[in-house]
Amino acid sequence: MSRELKIGLFGFGVVGEGIYHVLQATPSLNATIKKVCIKQKDKKRNAPEELFTVNASELLEDPEINVIVELIDDAKEAFIISSRAIKNKKALVSANKKMIAENLQELLDLQDLYQTPLLYEASVCGSIPVIRNLEEYYDNDLLQGICGIVNGSTNFILSRMFDDSLSYSEALQLAQQAGFAESDPGLDVRGIDAVNKLTILLLHGYGIVSKPEDHLHIGIDRIHNLDAKYAAEKNVRIRLVAQSKKLKNGRVAAFVLPQFVSNKIQLYNVNDEYNGIVLQSSFADKQFLYGKGAGRYPTSSAVLSDISALRYDYRYEYRKLKNNSENELTDDFYLELYAAFPIRSKVDKNDFEWITEYNCRDQRQYIKGVIHYRKLLETKWVNDASVSLVLCPEGIIENEEVAFREVKEKFWKLAGVAEKKKEVVPDIVLVER
Ligand SMILES: NC(=O)c1ccc[n+]([C@@H]2O[C@H](COP(=O)([O-])OP(=O)(O)OC[C@H]3O[C@@H](n4cnc5c(N)ncnc54)[C@H](OP(=O)(O)O)[C@@H]3O)[C@@H](O)[C@H]2O)c1
């Protein structure tokens, strides 16, 4: 690629306008925006009028433009623009996690076919350089787990629920007023944004190509005040965590769930709109990346870094995918889970392998216990809005641990020794089956 970058910019919103200003402040980059494509022709802009167009072809068919920076808020349109850009051999930078996660395979194929780079560091955790880290530093065998707070607005809401004792709806309203949550916050609070990011992380972390809908994602919209109260009593916080873990059998568990985090792990101190991600490797133990996951300038900084990387022909090599890594997703593992629900509910205690805690108060009850992941997916209550689900700390349980426990129980039975007392769960849990 020539050293001079001529950019066609799509979108002039929060991030688009941000990158316009950032590029003006970094002349040493030798990158200039030639044209900006927007949607609404007559909207007032903080830039010269002649820069703007509503005709995408003016950018995509301009032979002088060698880089397309896609920063629009419409994933379907973004994919059309991105495909055309790659087909026209224009290097592409995007921040659009939804578009990327939903079209991973297609985008990989296009890059291969047209030998054109696509970079998207800003799509996961905004300013935190996690994709390039996974891509360059963590070799296949090194990465054991990813555990991240990857969505700033949900983290802001949870922080307000815990620090200021606000209810979920009060905290959401505050997040919207402060500009941390969209007027339609569904993508964030239902965990969809987080699972889009997890899908991208799985590709760069393990070479796994998947679809967002392949992974369980439960958001924070079901978190009840009593769950927050329970967490406070246990001295833990609830955070929305996107995570993956390479199990002992080599397969990868991956999902998005609210989780109790204790002050022993770094995510405990990721508050407000911040993001944090813990990478667990075989030999280096845990490494922690922390920073701003969204906002005009933090996101622009990641976009700028991608633009700058194009100057030295950087592209993702997808080594883990291309080297036929045998990493595969699995649904064969267990979770230690807290499930809270109204008195009359369909949650069945028999779905759990064993139960460690049960309580009923203020017309709501909860079970804490171990359940097989596949069984959880099959229950009706996993998608019941009245049931809040929170993963326990260290909540992924390997099959060996469950098998070991069963053997131990059999041994005690044969030896005629009473089992360790189990939590007694009354049948009230079984009403309305
Ligand atoms: N905001 C953040 O902090 C953040 C962080 C990480 C990633 N991202 C990602 O960055 C992207 C942009 O987000 P944003 O917050 O900057 O969005 P935004 O403020 O809503 O701006 C969206 C821009 O896209 C333009 N647009 C929409 N459809 C278009 C089309 N078909 N052709 C051309 N332009 C079109 C809009 O044009 P008009 O101005 O004419 O309406 C607007 O300028 C999204 O993919 C988002 O997920 C954002």
Handedness of CA 334, 336, 338, 344 (dihedral sign): positive
CB-defined site of ligand 1, < 6 Å: 10-16, 37-40, 43, 71-74, 77, 95-97, 122, 126, 294-295, 299
Q: Decide: 95 and 302 in contact? Cβ < 8 Å.
A: yes
Tell me the average pLDDT of the chain.
Answer: 91
The pLDDT of residue 428 is 47
The pLDDT of residue 421 is 46
Euclidean distance between CA atoms 320 and 209, whole angstroms: 11
- pLDDT exceeds cutoff 70 at 411: yes
Nearest ligand 1 atom to the CA of 75 is 45
- pLDDT exceeds cutoff 90 at 283: no
SS (H, E, C) 403-418: HHHHHHHHHHHHCCCC
Nearest CA to ligand 1 atom 27: 72
- pLDDT exceeds cutoff 70 at 425: no
Query: Which candidate in 90, 197, 246, 292 is catalytic?
Result: 197
Query: Minimum mean pLDDT among 51-65, 159-173, 186-200, 253-267: which range?
Result: 159-173
The secondary structure of residue 128, as a DSSP letter, is: S
**Length of the chain counted residue by residue:** 433
Q: What is the pTM of this model?
A: 0.94
* Annotation says 410 is catalytic: no
| Confidence category of residue 298, pLDDT binned at 50, 70, 90 | very high
Picking from 303, 264, 273, 309, the residue whose alpha carbon sits closest to that of residue 291 is 273
Nearest ligand 1 atom to the CA of 99 is 45
The pLDDT of residue 432 is 38
For ligand 1, the distance from its centroid to the CA atom of residue 111, given in whole angstroms, is 23
| Confidence category of residue 162, pLDDT binned at 50, 70, 90 | confident
- pLDDT exceeds cutoff 80 at 417: no
For ligand 1, the distance from its centroid to the CA atom of residue 226, given in whole angstroms, is 37
Please state the rounded mean pLDDT for residues 107-120.
98
| Confidence category of residue 430, pLDDT binned at 50, 70, 90 | very low
For ligand 1, the distance from its centroid to the CA atom of residue 146, given in whole angstroms, is 28
Picking from 43, 67, 286, 214, the residue whose alpha carbon sits closest to that of residue 82 is 67
For ligand 1, the distance from its centroid to the CA atom of residue 164, given in whole angstroms, is 32
Please state the rounded mean pLDDT for residues 174-185.
81
Higher local confidence (pLDDT), 372 or 427: 372
